[in-house]
Copies of this chain bind each other. A is one copy, B any other.
Amino acid sequence: MRLNPEGKLELLKRKVIYTGMEKKFKPKPSLKTNNDTGFGSNANNYGGRFVNRDGTFNLRREGVPFLKRLSIYHKMLNMPRWKFAASIIVVYITINLLYSMIYLLLGRSQFTGMIANTPWQTFKELYFFSTETFTTVGYGRINPIGDGANIIAAFEAMNGFLSFAVVTGLMYGRFSKPKSYLTFSEHALIAPFQDKTALMFRFANYKDHHVLTNVEIKVSMALRTEENGEAKYNFYDLTLERNKVDSLSMNWTVVHPIDDNSPITGFTEEDMRNADAEIYVLVSGFDDVYSCSVLQRTSYTFNEMKFGAKFIPMYRESDDGNTTILEMHKLHETMEARI
């Protein structure tokens, strides 16, 4: 685990230079591949990992016009708060600049009540006339009397009106956008579990009140293999000790027992690297704050798997004995475990 200069965990890329000398992963014939991942198998056409840690696909589109491809709604909804506020302020200033330019071109004589003596003062006065029109404040000291000024002001007021409607919609969209507030452990661990070895990771909901119900998890693994001299990826469903819980109130440790049905039975760290292993995680559930199904994706590449470590417990009884405490800061904490 390395932290990059901004203090964030540096997520290693999956890109590996193959020397041709590595032991190749040969799947057992009895292993059933998962054909429904939605990924094609041609290894040469893929770059880097399949899925990023934040759940987005590691994919770019080409040949679609930018505006058609762009999802403005998605962009405005997922922008950090400060950026959203900044965008609004910038747009506000720009629109008013535009309108005040037009008023300036129409000329001062189209307005009554102005007190400016210099061109610069005139510009400023018209700029603030524009803001009070756009926001529909309309103090009214300055008043359009010329036809041009009246038409533009009527248009600007309507424009303000509509901008307001847009912003209201976006605001509400941001509020009400369903999200599954899950954090996943930084590493997937491979360690003894009961009398076998298992691959494990865990996650929890960090938001108060947002309890997921009917939570299901699906974990697939991509392994690079060679068939008839051609590199390709095989995808496998990982069987889980448990793949659904009724309510996700606490943390959940997902366990894939590495037994004979596992594609990685007997793998060493080196083997994982050679097979370019990546697991792809999809959690779904019902959030009753939004009364909506929510999804969250993530992935772990072989660089994000740790051998010989297990998670430490992360809940305890409160001091007064009346409540249970979920210790979220321990989510990523592990201790050594002999394999």
On A, residues with C-beta under 8 Å from B are 13, 15, 35-40, 42, 44-48, 56-64, 68-71, 73-74, 77-78, 88-89, 92, 96, 112, 115, 124, 128, 131-133, 135-141, 143-145, 147, 150, 153-154, 157-158, 160-162, 164-173, 175-178, 206-211, 213, 215, 218, 220, 242, 244-250, 252, 282, 284, 286, 288-295, 297, 313, 315-318, 320-330
Contacts and interface: CB of A to CB of B under 8 A. Distances in A.
B145 A115 contact: yes
B165 A167 contact: yes
Contacts of A71: 207-210, 289
B138 A154 contact: no
Oligomeric state, in number of copies?
4
Given A61-B208, A131-B158, A164-B165, 15 more contacts: A13-B322, A38-B248, A45-B324, A46-B324, A56-B209, A58-B322, A60-B325, A64-B206, A70-B207, A73-B175, A131-B154, A132-B153, A168-B171, A169-B176, A291-B294
A98 to B, nearest CB: 15
Given A47-B317, A140-B141, A293-B291, A128 B153 contact: yes
A30 B88 CA distance: 64
B144 A128 contact: yes
B169 A45 contact: no
Contacts of A244: 36
A302 to B, nearest CB: 16
Contacts of A92: 158
A143 B139 contact: yes
Contacts of A48: 321-324
A336 to B, nearest CB: 21
Interface of A is mostly: mixed
A33 B295 CA distance: 28
B36 A242 contact: yes
A294 B288 contact: yes
A44 B162 contact: no
B171 A165 contact: yes
Contacts of A64: 206, 328-329
A282 B73 contact: no
A208 B70 contact: yes
Contacts of A39: 249-250
Contacts of A139: 138-140, 143-144
A115 to B, nearest CB: 7
A322 to B, nearest CB: 4
A74 B176 contact: no
Contacts of A61: 206, 208, 325-326, 328
Contact of A165 (B168, B210, B286): B168
A323 B47 contact: yes
Q: What 10 pairs across the A-B complex have the smallest Cβ distances?
A: A63-B329, A169-B172, A135-B157, A137-B138, A139-B140, A140-B140, A131-B154, A165-B168, A48-B322, A38-B245
Contacts of A326: 59-62
B321 A47 contact: yes
Nearest to A121: B147
